[in-house]
Amino acid sequence: MTPASTPDGHSNCRPQPPVWVLALSIVEGLDCVTPPHPVHGDEPCRRYSQAVLVLQRLRSDHSSAVLNFELENREYFSATISDRGDEFFEQFSERFGELLAEQDRGACAFHVLLDENGTVVGRFNLYDLDGGAAEVGYRVAERVAGRGVATSALQELCMLAAEQYGLRTLNAATSDENVASRKVLENAGFVSVGSTEVGGRAGTLFKCVVSGAPAI
């Protein structure tokens, strides 16, 4: 999980970036149509509610919210990816500090997705920034999974990768059994480019070419 340092003089990460706000239509539930809808017949219709989620660059004051996010979703995450282990949580403060140091060195760009209460509902990260390319990692809370949040936030991350960090190519990997993650990548514009292993499980490599621009 620890990104390698970039060559001397290479710095795609920029201090004090702007805050990006995502206005997402989140599926709240299913409502049967009465009388039948003229197009969809007896099929249920979806009810949507507007939710404002904020994508922010990781800061030191996000520490507690990130820890809560990881603890609350630990069991949910471990169903499709390898569990981080007790040591990760016992040494969280130290590890969090290391992430911020790596970000300051320009090796990576970490982001948290916050709801209107300041609760972390997702993490969207760029690792190993080098030569116009980076590795992508993300995870969202169980309570927002399956509602289009991951796809929308990942699409936003792709835009930031090009416009804010000057990247051209993004790479990602997911285990083959993690169908939801694979769907998110494909919906965000990533294409399968080969096979790999993810946490000891068979997986697939994905790539997305973005329109790189000089970082501001």
Domains of the chain: 20-209 (3.40.630.30)
Nearest to 123 by CA among 115, 114, 113: 113
Task: Please indicate whether residue 79 or residue 178 has the higher confidence score (pLDDT).
Answer: 178
Any idea which of 81-95, 113-127, 138-152 has the lowest mean pLDDT? 81-95
Q: What band does 17 get if pLDDT is binned at 50, 70 and 90?
A: very low
SS3 for 139?
A: strand
pLDDT at 24: 52
Write the pLDDT tens digit of every residue in 139-196.
999 999 988 999 999 999 999 999 999 999 999 999 898 899 999 999 999 999 999 9
What is the spatial distance between Cα 99 and Cα 90, in angstroms, rounded to a whole number? 16
Q: What is the rounded distance in angstroms from the CA atom of residue 185 to the CA atom of residue 192?
A: 9
Both tokens of residue 91? 């040494």
pTM reported for the whole predicted model:
0.75
Q: At residue 93, does pLDDT exceed 90?
A: yes
